[in-house]
Amino acid sequence: MELVLLLASLAVPVVVWFAVLRRRGGARNAKRRRLPPGPRGWPVLGNLPQLGSKPHQTMHALARQYGPLFRLRLGSAEVVVAAQFLRVHDTNFGSRPPNSGAEHLAYNYQDLVFAPYGARWRALRKLCALHLFSAKALHNMRGVREEEAALMVRRLARRQGEGEEAVELGQVANVCSTNALARAMVGRRLFTAVDGGGGAEDDASREFKDMVVELMQLAGVFNVGDFVPALAWLDPQGVVGKMKRLHRRYDAMMDGIIRDRKKAAAGDDGRDLLGVMLARMRDQQPLVDGEDGCINETGIKALLLNLFTAGTDPASSTVEWALAELIRQPEVLRKAQQELDGVVGRGRLVSECDLPRLTCLAAVIKETFRLHPPSPLSLPRVAAEECEVEGFRVPRGATLLVNLWAIARDPTAWGEDALEFRPARFLPGGAHAGVDLKGHDFELIPFSAERRSCVGRSWRLHLVTLMTAALVHAMDWELAAGDEVDMEEIFGLTLQRAVPLMVRPKPRLLPSAYAAEDQ
């Protein structure tokens, strides 16, 4: 409320000017094709004050009133919020609009996520796909993912033997996902302890998770300065100042990773992603063949930042949501455990080669991604040219947001139980048995779709499925306190739990399954 009052007072001197311009332009606009419908907004600020703390839910409610395609005016920006959109108009919406997050967090658009659509973006995406996310790279890193998942459950079992009960599941899962990705990206773990004993490694992992969560929340803020440039210098929400401080922490972390790698490599950079990029930088190879401009340390740090943030906490958050849903529905948890016992047994831990035979678990994963997509709203895209959608005019330069959270709750696609956790809908014979998570089925696109879809989708799917299987198979779960699971969510680039899931895991396998030495 204080922010709204501040902005309203700043807007008073220009209200009359805005009204005059609106009247002058009204006659001309009436002759043109209609813009999509949408709610009336404030002078100057438009609909910004109306978005609330959970814009994805606000937009879901607006879609029920105005239809699946509607318009918001956020300051001086025209924003179109849509559901089924990318299948036809993906080419026209290949780039991102300017924003403070890309400037102050992502090394001024030097990263992959916010880079303009073009040759450099394609080269970065190809680099990641080849060395991290291709079928060959995923196969080569299977042992890494299995080792980290096994390490996670063995240390959980050991903690229970030492009498420590309460576990913050998201933190444990985050260490596992971060170490698995770090070994694939930079050739080593970032953290060497997951047992929460208060040591330096545990403190570092918690600090890293806090940094990622803060980045996701800051980058998800609808920053007034992005939409009302005249107010940008004031930074009325304090967002830019927080971004700059957080960027300095990330930059120091990335500098340390690169520095350590250079010392350890001694001229042999290895074949992981960081090694490949350092070798290209040393040999002054251009990022894009036939063009000037070699990869440099800023570009390397920007790409590492993307991958560490997008590939770690979203994966662990999905696992946390999955376990929360299963604890709320014990019968579904029992069915998943019975399936795992039948396929894997109780004498060893689950491996990736077991996953194709776990149909119940696969349904749980799909249903978790449906109700709790990693990103509630797609990252914004901008219209390169004016286009027409469903009879409405979408002007050049308009920003597109796709409400992924709302699409997966549409009762016309998912039925009257669309808001309920029902993995059975994805089982053989279920109403949605043929739906996958690869972007082919536009009623379920948690990783977005088409050109700007998540390049790490396959890695995340492999890791989330394996981590969830390992935790469900190896442990029984009880809440640490209370009789209900709080399912409240916090909006950001990723959908975080408002209250961390605190649980008591109890080993359920034979002691020999947990007996291997820590990796």
Residue 64 CA to residue 41 CA, distance in Å, equals 18
**Which residues, at least 6 apart from 294, have a Cβ–Cβ distance to it below 8 Å?**
280, 281, 284, 285, 286, 287
CA angle 157, 174, 207 (to 5 degrees): 110
Q: Collapsing DSSP states into helix, strand and coil, what is residue 496?
A: strand
**Which residues, at least 6 apart from 28, have a Cβ–Cβ distance to it below 8 Å?**
none
Residue 107, token pair as written in the block: 């090394």
Is 387 marked within a binding site?
no
The letter for the amino acid at 120 is R
Residue 361 CA to residue 186 CA, distance in Å, equals 31
| Torsions phi, psi for 506 (to 5 deg) | -130, 120
Residue 314 CA to residue 373 CA, distance in Å, equals 9
Residue 464: closest CA among 343, 367, 348: 367
Q: How far is CA 308 from the centre of its chain?
A: 11
Region at 137 (left for phi over 0; alpha for psi -120 to 50; beta for the rest): alpha
Chain position carrying tokens 């039925």: 415
Residue 477: closest CA among 510, 512, 501, 513: 501
Q: Print burial letters for 432-459: b (CB count within 10 Å at least 16), e (below 16).
A: beebebebeebebbbbbbbbbbbbbbbb
Q: Collapsing DSSP states into helix, strand and coil, what is residue 443?
A: coil
Residue 152 CA to residue 161 CA, distance in Å, equals 15
Residue 492 CA to residue 219 CA, distance in Å, equals 7
Residue 159 CA to residue 169 CA, distance in Å, equals 13
Does residue 469 contact residue 356 with C-beta atoms inside 8 Å? no
Residue 95, token pair as written in the block: 């780039």
Annotated binding site for heme: 454
Annotated binding site: 454
